[in-house]
């Protein structure tokens, strides 16, 4: 392998950019290698979400078979149940969930938005009312770090205050300021030497706030830069524009860039093109559980009646356990019968599709064909909403 274009050595990570953007301005996509305590992650990469120390419906063997090399788990949920201290006593999160590859923990910041009615926020932190039993819980930057250190993830993430992209400018500004102060506190609180720590940029869709936030977070000694507050209610155009503002600020920064929450293949492609290295999202797994299967060029709503008689596999060339052994008719039947196997097979498939899509992106970057193959990859990704565009012959 040739010399990396850049290398970043963090406290518990190393990031090599193996293939930098071409320099002709045609794309900011790059190929990288992120070394963490439990293994190596090639970038651009997608992380399946395993909030409760499980990627819903899958066991670690299934997860690995999808091609995933790193997964995300959630600090807030694991703090509430079963408790981070219990997980620590039981040997840490990797051992607890029997996943020996890298894990990134989200800080609980997202629950500041997602648990809207159940939390009160102030400058020092956030108070949550548990969605499980209604009890009160206090989260501060220091506490979010302590919990993540107890869990022992490869990558911890700073506690932040995301806001809906459509929020008013004053609200965005306030949350962004607060996120900056909390970022500094997270850095000051962090001790664990075998755990990397990523900082989170906010700034909403306001170009000046987003640029300033990116510069501020990049100015701190984090091991990676998360772009937060996206993958919400913004339009794809607004998201692209925001990336065009943020990524150039990081142009000479050797650290990995992680866009939090993005998950549809079409969205991933556009964000890679604009310079993002890492992603996570519940989307492939959630829509799978809800009966939507992703295939090249589109999607199948497998609950539709017509699939009950369809003997074809969901996707011919897919190596997942669903496509390898079963027909569309079978998975359609499982969904209608509310059989648990439906959720496992569907989740395996969508994650396999998504991670294979990332493989294709990386291969194109490696071979220097990346910007050129985008139309082809867009076609494969299909539309992110609306009716399916690809239909096998009946």
What are the residues binding RNA (CB under 7 A)?
49-51, 55-56, 72, 74, 77, 106-107, 109-111, 113-118, 131, 157, 160, 162, 200, 226, 228-229, 231-232, 260-264, 267, 280-283, 285-287, 289-292, 301, 303-305, 336, 338, 340, 343, 384-388
Shortest gap between Cβ of 328 and RNA (angstroms)?
A: 13
Element (DSSP H or E) covering residue 227? strand 224-227
Alpha helices in the chain (DSSP H): 60-65, 75-80, 84-89, 93-97, 109-114, 141-151, 169-189, 207-218, 236-249, 265-273, 283-289, 321-325, 328-336, 340-366, 370-381
Contact 77, 51 (CB under 8 A): yes
Minimum CB distance to RNA, residue 324 (Å): 22
106 has catalytic annotation: yes
At its nearest, how many Å lie between RNA and the CB of residue 343? 5
Catalytic residue among 160, 223, 277, 280: 280
| CB neighbour list of residue 156: distance below 8 Å, 6 or more residues apart | 104, 105, 107, 145, 148, 149, 190, 192, 195, 196, 197, 198
Shortest distance in whole angstroms from residue 76 CB to RNA: 8
Q: Residue 182, by phi and psi: left (phi above 0), alpha (psi -120 to 50) or beta? A: alpha
Are the CB atoms for 47 and 68 separated by under 8 Å?
yes
Closest CB to RNA among residues 339, 376: 339
Residue 307: CB minimum distance to RNA, A = 8
CB of 5 to RNA, least distance (A): 28
**In the complex with RNA, which residue's Cβ is closer, 72 or 364?**
72
Can you tell me which residue has the tokens 């939390």? 119
106, 154, 223, 277: the active-site residue = 106
Complex with RNA: residue 21 or 275, whichever CB lies closer: 275
Residue found by looking up tokens 């703090």 in the block: 79
Beta bridge partners of 187: none
Q: Which is nearer to RNA, 27 or 130 (CB)?
A: 130
Q: Closer CB to RNA, residue 18 or residue 320?
A: 320
Place of tokens 């991933």: 268
Cα gap 27→369, rounded to integer Å: 11
Task: Output phi, psi for 122, to 5 deg.
Answer: -140, -175
Cα separation, 19 vs 2, in Å, equals: 9
Nearer to RNA, 2 or 135 (CB): 135
Both tokens of 282, joined, read: 């519940």
Whether 122 sits among the annotated catalytic residues: the reply is: no
CA angle at residue 217 from 216 to 220, to 5 degrees?
95
Among all residues, which ones are annotated catalytic? Answer: 106, 280
């Amino acid at each position: 392998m040739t010399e990396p274009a850049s290398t970043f050595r963090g406290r518990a990570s190393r990031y090599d950019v193996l293939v930098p953007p071409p320099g002709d301005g045609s794309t900011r996509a790059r190929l990288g290698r992120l070394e963490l305590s439990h293994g190596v992650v090639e970038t651009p990469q997608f992380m399946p979400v395993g909030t409760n120390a499980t990627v819903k419906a899958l066991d670690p063997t299934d997860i690995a078979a999808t091609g995933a090399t790193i997964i995300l788990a959630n600090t807030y949920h694991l703090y509430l149940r079963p408790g981070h201290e219990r997980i620590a006593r039981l040997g840490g999160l990797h051992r607890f969930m029997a996943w020996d590859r890298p894990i990134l923990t989200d800080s609980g910041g997202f629950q500041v938005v997602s648990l809207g009615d159940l939390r009160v926020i102030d400058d020092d932190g956030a108070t949550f009312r548990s969605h499980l039993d209604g009890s009160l819980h206090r989260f501060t930057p220091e506490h979010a770090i302590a919990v993540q250190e107890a869990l022992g993830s490869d990558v911890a993430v700073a506690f932040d205050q995301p806001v809906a992209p459509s929020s008013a400018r004053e609200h965005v500004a306030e949350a962004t300021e607060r996120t900056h102060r909390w970022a500094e506190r997270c850095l000051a609180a962090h001790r664990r030497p075998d755990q990397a720590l990523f900082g989170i940029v906010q700034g909403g869709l306001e170009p000046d706030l987003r640029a300033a936030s990116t510069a501020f977070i990049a100015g701190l000694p984090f091991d990676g830069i998360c772009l937060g507050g996206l993958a919400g209610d913004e339009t794809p155009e607004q998201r692209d524009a925001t990336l065009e503002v943020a990524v150039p600020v990081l142009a000479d920064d050797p650290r990995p860039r992680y866009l939090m929450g993005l998950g549809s293949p079409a969205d991933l492609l556009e964000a890679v093109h604009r310079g993002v290295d890492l992603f996570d999202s519940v989307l492939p797994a959630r829509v799978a559980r809800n009966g939507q299967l992703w295939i090249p060029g589109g999607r199948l709503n497998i609950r539709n009646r017509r699939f009950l008689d369809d003997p074809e596999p969901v996707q011919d060339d897919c190596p997942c356990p669903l496509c390898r052994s079963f027909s569309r008719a079978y998975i359609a039947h499982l969904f209608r019968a509310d059989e648990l196997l439906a959720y496992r097979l569907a989740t395996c498939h969508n994650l396999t599709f998504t991670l294979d899509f990332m493989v294709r992106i990386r291969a194109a970057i490696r071979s220097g064909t990346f910007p050129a193959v985008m139309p082809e990859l867009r076609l494969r990704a299909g539309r992110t909403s609306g009716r399916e565009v690809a239909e096998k012959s009946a």
